[in-house]
Amino acid sequence: MPEPNVSATWTISLQKQVHKVEFEHGTTFGRRVIRVDGKEVLRREWMFKLVGKENFNIGKILCEISIEAVGTSGYEYTLHVNGKTFEKFKQEQDKKLQSWETTTGGHEWRVVLYKETMEVWANGTIIATAGEFVEGGSLTHCELNSTPCRITTKSSGNKKTGLIHTLYVNNTIVPSKIDDGQASSSSSS
């Protein structure tokens, strides 16, 4: 089976996990294929109208890919998530979530702090925490497979920056995962 001709990809960070969305737009036979995390969620063949919109869900989140003609033989693909442009959705997620990736005890972890509630998720599952106020901020204690962890929260001193959250695993700082929210597309001819 030939390798699919992926026209656009996006990486969407959610509280539970990061999802990769791939869109295949075959203009010769009017094919549209959407894959989420490698699993096909939509397939249409023999579409005579090569532009338009396709809707799909990631869990309870509604997504839409718009296909628009650009010039005489190219196409532009735009993703909307929960009714917002991908860029706007990503900005909102960046304000709500802080994430880190770490390995401890031979196990890889994606740790996510939901800033609004201070819930901590590890590999898509909410984990038990204990919070305490300390001078200059707060500490949120948790464990990753019996490995002690803490998230410090303190003011940046800058109103625009707001609070700074830092994860420590075994008293070692884990660099924050800067989610590029990857969005790439290519034109078809």
As beta bridge partners, residue 185 has 8
**Backbone φ and ψ of 107, nearest 5°:** -120, 135
In this predicted structure, what is the pLDDT of residue 143? 94
Q: Does CATH number 3.30.559.30 belong to domain 96-174?
A: no
In this predicted structure, what is the pLDDT of residue 160? 82
Alpha-carbon dihedral sign for residues 38, 43, 47, 51 = negative
CA–CA separation, 26 and 121 (whole Å): 38
Can you give the residue ranges of every domain in the chain?
Answer: 6-82, 96-174
**Of residues 13 and 126, more confidently modeled:** 126
Q: What is the CATH number of domain 6-82?
A: 2.40.128.180
Instruction: Show the tokens assigned to 67.
Output: 């296909």
In this predicted structure, what is the pLDDT of residue 14? 82
SS3 176: strand
pLDDT tier at 178, thresholds 50, 70, 90: low
